[in-house]
């Protein structure tokens, strides 16, 4: 179990977060660049010192700022960190890189940590075969004699992952490791990490600023913005039921429409959760005119100008069929949209997050004809969240 | 080497190669001149004179001690400068640059006022029956002052070229700081350190300005060249110049070859 409840000072704000990750669980820290996600990882790894808080891992206290103070140095933490730069030692062969931790732990680890670690360093027995097996499993078995500079980016990442796993860390921290790679390779490597983390039963945390990366990895997702932990929950829950307008914006809601019979209440419109046509039993009907459209993926992205009380504003949605030309009228239905009160927080009595074909139960009153007003400018919405 | 033939294919390429060759030959001019103006018999007669080789021994000994002193006291400083762990890092760097910019002759003059017999330092070591003027100790002090800034700046650049995230990674993999230094920092900085040491060695072996003021005795090679030149003229001084080159060059050359090989080994 990895527990972290810390406050870390940064130049412009303080990162405050409390997370708990069970063995084998995969937590994604999702948020925009510069939100403080990496800072949190570095605090757990012991690379930056938190101003206040505690960090516990596998029954050991790694950091405690209250008395009695504890600050276990990074080299005794048994925390593995993988960054975007694989960080292989350029002067050592791939094999020596993989074996790097082995030769450290056999000397320092045994005395520093004592008992209580499963699958730990047991001298030399089985280590050579473990290295060879893991290298083969990761597809770098024939590269052990090569120098890191000879490896491709994907191979370097595989080697870096193998090196971490051979170090038998008690926790695995991944700081956007694959964001520089192409999509196919990113998928392969993420799937590989997921499999290995589950097999080994270590708690792991992934930092991501792309929602897709977080979703592909996580069993739970935490949304962080400017150092604040805004929401923590299963990935689908966070996306379908954002806790606030700010979270909704971060996970990809591109428009907010006023709900006709509930003053001050807005519905979040996610472009992927919109179907063409009027289906009042499935959600919120929006009517307006097409402002612009463009191909997006295998379908079309449409900016829909919805006339409202405070003037028209664009709601973006993705539709499978090619829409009409600019200016032509269009009616769409936002499926079970989350509702937010005037203060920007989610209303609990909103539509259910049920997915699939079943109609959402208490749908908001369908809009008769273009009375939906948007929630205001982006700046106004940001203020509304109180951040 | 690989770009040479490619560059020659065009006229402008050929011109620039020719220009580079001229500059290169001009830079090597003194060495070429030395080799063409020296005869075997002159070498034999100069070096067979009684006591002729003593300055060579003195120079090698003083140079060796200087290198050890630099390694021990300047390497940690260079590392701290590179890592920015010192407060007001610019002030520290400016200090090192300052000592680099002092002309050697001025260093020698000032050293007399700093470590001469009537200074606190001079009196202190006087109690131990030592003197920092016209002694082997004085020679080492002068050589250290002349070569230290070159070593510090070179070593600082060598340490700065080591990615701190590699050191972090080594720590996270279980190495305590001293082991990180030994297993990651030092091997990665080694080629640069070797080059810095080679430059310092060349400076120390050729040190003259400070040496002529504070350590006229015992003679090292540069002073022997100077006194021979004054006593018996140019031709008899040339053999000692050759000796100086022969003993001063191998270490920098070896450092250069070794660091080039270390770099290419990393490329696989």
Name all domains of chain A by residue range, CATH numbers in brackets: 2-238 (3.40.50.300), 243-384 (no CATH)
Q: Do A108 and B174 touch (CB under 8 A)?
A: yes
Mean residue pLDDT across chain A: 81
**pLDDT tens for residues A168-201?**
889 999 999 888 788 888 888 889 889 888 888 8
Q: Do A108 and B265 touch (CB under 8 A)?
A: no
Following DSSP, what letter does each residue of A191-238 receive, concatenated? HHHHHHHHHHT--EEEEESSHHHHHHH-SEEEEEETTEEEEEE-HHHH
HSE-up of residue A5 (Cα within 13 Å, Cβ side)? 8
- Please list every residue in chain A whose beta carbon sits closer than 8 Å to the beta carbon of residue B176: 73, 75, 108
DSSP state of A334: E
Interface A-B: count of C-beta contacts within 8 A: 72
Smallest Cβ–Cβ distance between B266 and the set A45, A83, A147 belongs to A147
Among B173, B187, B266, B268, the strongest candidate for a mutation testing the A interface, having the largest count of A CBs within 10 A, is B173
φ/ψ (deg, to 5) at B224:
-65, -40
| Helix (H/G/I), strand (E/B), else coil: B9 | coil
Three-class DSSP labels, B60-111: HHHHHHHHHHHHHHHHHHHHHHHHCCCCCHHHHHHHHHHHHHCCHHHHHHHH
**pLDDT tens for residues B120-163?**
888 888 888 888 888 899 999 999 999 999 999 999 999 999 99
Element of type H or E holding B160: helix B136-160
**Cβ contacts of A375 within 8 Å, gap of 6 or more:** A245, A256, A257, A258, A266, A340, A381, A384
Q: Do B170 and A100 touch (CB under 8 A)?
A: yes
Q: For the beta carbon of residue A383, count every other beta carbon within 10 angstroms.
A: 12
pLDDT at A366 over 50: no
The architecture in CATH of the region B53-266 reads Orthogonal Bundle (1.10)
Radius of gyration, CA atoms only, chain A: 25
A-contacting residues in B 65-104 (Cβ below 8 Å): none
Q: Kindly state the average pLDDT of the residues A143-164.
A: 91
**pLDDT tens for residues A126-146?**
567 888 888 888 888 899 999
Q: Tell me the nearest-neighbour CA distance from A61 into chain B, angstroms.
A: 17
Query: B39: exposed, middle or buried (C-beta count within 10 Å: 0-12, 13-18, 19+)?
Result: exposed
Residue pair A285/A278 in contact (Cβ under 8 Å)? The answer is yes
pLDDT at A95 over 80: yes
Cα distance between residue A192 and residue A74, in whole Å:
26
pLDDT at A367: 44
> A114 pLDDT band (50/70/90 cuts)?
very low
Q: For the beta carbon of residue B92, count every other beta carbon within 10 angstroms.
A: 17
pLDDT at B24: 93
Look at phi and psi of residue A118 and say left if phi exceeds 0, alpha if psi is from -120 to 50, else beta: beta
pLDDT at A329 over 60: yes
Comparing CA positions, the residue from A136, A97, A100 lying closest to residue A121 is A100
Mean residue pLDDT across chain B: 88
Residue pair A136/B207 in contact (Cβ under 8 Å)? The answer is no
Interface of A with B (CB under 8 A): 45, 47, 73-81, 83, 85, 87, 89-91, 100-101, 104-105, 108-109, 146-150, 163, 167
Comparing CA positions, the residue from B216, B72, B228 lying closest to residue B155 is B72
Radius of gyration, CA atoms only, chain B: 22
- Please list every residue in chain B whose beta carbon sits closer than 8 Å to the beta carbon of residue A148: 268
Residue pair B185/B177 in contact (Cβ under 8 Å)? The answer is no
Instruction: Give whichever of A97-106, A257-266, B193-202 has the largest mean pLDDT.
Output: B193-202
DSSP state of A359: P
> B8 pLDDT band (50/70/90 cuts)?
low
Residue pair B197/B205 in contact (Cβ under 8 Å)? The answer is no
Could you give the percent of chain A with pLDDT greater than 70?
Answer: 82
pLDDT at A382: 40
pLDDT at B185 over 90: yes
Range in A3-7, A74-78, A328-332, A380-384 the model is least confident about: A380-384
pLDDT at A323: 85
Q: Do B176 and A45 touch (CB under 8 A)?
A: no
Angle between helices B186-206 and B54-83 (to 10 degrees): 140
pLDDT at B226 over 60: yes
pLDDT at A334 over 50: yes
Smallest Cβ–Cβ distance between B172 and the set A80, A108, A146 belongs to A80
**Cβ contacts of A274 within 8 Å, gap of 6 or more:** A317, A318, A319, A332, A333, A334, A335
Q: Do A81 and B172 touch (CB under 8 A)?
A: yes
Beta bridge partners of A305: A289, A314
Residue pair A1/A56 in contact (Cβ under 8 Å)? The answer is yes
Q: Kindly state the average pLDDT of the residues A51-80.
A: 92
Q: Tell me the nearest-neighbour CA distance from A91 into chain B, angstroms.
A: 5
Angle between helices B234-248 and B186-206 (to 10 degrees): 170
pLDDT at A103: 65
Q: Do A89 and B184 touch (CB under 8 A)?
A: yes
Complex prediction ipTM = 0.78
Cα distance between residue B192 and residue B186, in whole Å:
10
Q: Do B174 and A149 touch (CB under 8 A)?
A: no
Query: A339: exposed, middle or buried (C-beta count within 10 Å: 0-12, 13-18, 19+)?
Result: buried
Cα distance between residue B211 and residue B217, in whole Å:
9
Helical H segments across chain A, by residue range: 37-45, 94-98, 100-104, 110-113, 127-137, 153-166, 183-200, 211-217, 235-240, 245-250, 378-384
Q: Do B174 and A104 touch (CB under 8 A)?
A: yes
pLDDT at A363 over 60: no
pLDDT at A384: 39
DSSP state of A360: P
- Please list every residue in chain A whose beta carbon sits closer than 8 Å to the beta carbon of residue B168: 47, 74, 81
pLDDT at A313: 62
State the maximum Cα–Cα separation within chain B, in Å, rounded to a whole number.
72
CB neighbour burial string for A297-327, b if at least 16 within 10 angstroms, e if fewer:
eeebbbbbbbbbeeebbebbbbbeeebeeee
**Cβ contacts of A318 within 8 Å, gap of 6 or more:** A271, A272, A274, A296, A297, A299, A300, A301, A302
Cα distance between residue A246 and residue A221, in whole Å:
15
State the maximum Cα–Cα separation within chain A, in Å, rounded to a whole number.
75
Q: Which residue pairs from B222-231 have beta carbons closer than 8 angstroms and sit at least 24 positions apart in sequence?
A: B222/B59, B223/B55, B224/B55, B228/B46
- In chain B, what are the domain boundaries? 53-266
């Amino acid at each position: 179990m990895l527990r972290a409840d810390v406050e870390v000072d940064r130049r412009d704000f303080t990162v405050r977060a409390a997370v708990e990750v069970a063995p084998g669980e995969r937590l994604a820290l999702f948020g925009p660049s510069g939100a403080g996600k990496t800072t949190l990882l570095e605090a757990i790894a012991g690379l930056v010192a938190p101003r206040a808080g505690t960090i516990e891992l596998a029954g050991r206290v790694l950091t405690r700022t209250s008395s009695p103070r504890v600050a276990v140095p990074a080299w005794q933490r048994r925390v593995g960190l993988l960054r975007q730069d694989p960080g292989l030692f350029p002067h050592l062969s791939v094999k020596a890189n993989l074996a790097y931790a082995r030769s450290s732990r056999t000397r320092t680890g045994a005395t520093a940590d004592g008992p209580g670690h499963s699958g730990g360093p047991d001298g030399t027995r089985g280590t050579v075969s473990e290295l060879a097996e893991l290298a083969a499993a990761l597809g770098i078995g024939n590269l052990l004699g090569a120098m890191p500079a000879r490896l491709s980016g994907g191979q370097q990442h595989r080697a870096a992952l193998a090196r971490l796993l051979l170090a038998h860390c008690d926790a695995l921290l991944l700081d956007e490791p694959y964001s520089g790679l192409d999509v196919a390779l990113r998928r392969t490597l993420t799937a590989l990490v997921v499999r290995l983390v589950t097999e080994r039963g270590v708690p792991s945390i992934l930092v991501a600023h792309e929602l897709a990366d977080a979703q592909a990895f996580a069993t739970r997702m935490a949304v962080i913005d400017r150092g604040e932990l805004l929401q923590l929950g299963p990935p689908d829950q966070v996306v379908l039921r954002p806790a606030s307008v700010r979270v909704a914006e971060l996970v990809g809601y591109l428009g907010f429409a006023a709900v006709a019979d509930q003053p001050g209440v807005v519905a979040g419109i996610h472009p992927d959760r919109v179907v063409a046509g009027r289906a009042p039993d499935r959600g919120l009907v929006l009517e307006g005119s097409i402002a612009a459209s463009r191909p997006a993926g295998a379908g079309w992205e449409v900016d829909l100008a919805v006339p409202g009380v405070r003037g028209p504003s664009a709601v973006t949605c993705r539709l499978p069929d090619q829409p009409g030309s600019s200016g032509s009228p269009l009616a769409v239905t936002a499926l079970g949209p989350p509702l937010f009160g005037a203060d920007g927080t989610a209303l609990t009595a909103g539509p259910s997050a049920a997915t699939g074909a079943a109609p959402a139960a208490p749908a908001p009153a369908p809009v008769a004809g273009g009375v939906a007003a948007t929630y205001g400018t982006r700046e106004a919405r940001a203020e509304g969240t109180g951040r | 080497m690989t770009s040479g033939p490619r560059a020659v294919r065009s006229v402008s390429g050929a011109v620039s190669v020719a220009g580079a060759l001229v500059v290169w030959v001009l830079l090597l001019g003194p060495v070429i001149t030395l080799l063409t103006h020296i005869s075997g018999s002159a070498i034999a007669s100069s070096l067979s004179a009684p006591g002729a080789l003593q300055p060579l021994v003195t120079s090698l000994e003083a140079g060796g001690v200087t290198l050890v002193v630099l390694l021990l006291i300047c390497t940690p400083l260079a590392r701290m400068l590179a890592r920015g762990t010192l407060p007001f890092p610019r002030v520290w760097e400016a200090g090192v640059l300052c000592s680099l910019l002092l002309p050697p002759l001025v260093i020698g003059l000032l050293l007399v006022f700093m470590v001469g017999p009537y200074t606190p330092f001079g009196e202190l070591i006087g109690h131990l029956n030592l003197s920092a003027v016209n002694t082997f100790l004085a020679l080492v002090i002068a050589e250290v002052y002349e070569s230290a800034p070159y070593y510090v700046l070179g070593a600082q650049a060598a340490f700065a070229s080591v990615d701190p995230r590699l050191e972090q990674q080594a720590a996270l993999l279980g190495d305590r700081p001293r082991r990180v230094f030994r297993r990651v920092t030092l091997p990665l900085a080694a080629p640069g350190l070797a080059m810095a040491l080679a430059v310092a060695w060349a400076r120390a072996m050729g040190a003259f300005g400070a040496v002529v003021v504070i350590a006229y005795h015992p003679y090292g090679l540069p002073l022997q060249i100077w006194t021979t030149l004054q006593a018996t003229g140019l031709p008899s001084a040339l053999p000692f110049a050759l000796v100086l080159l022969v003993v001063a060059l191998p270490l920098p050359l070896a450092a250069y070859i070794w660091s080039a090989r270390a770099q290419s080994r990393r490329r696989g």
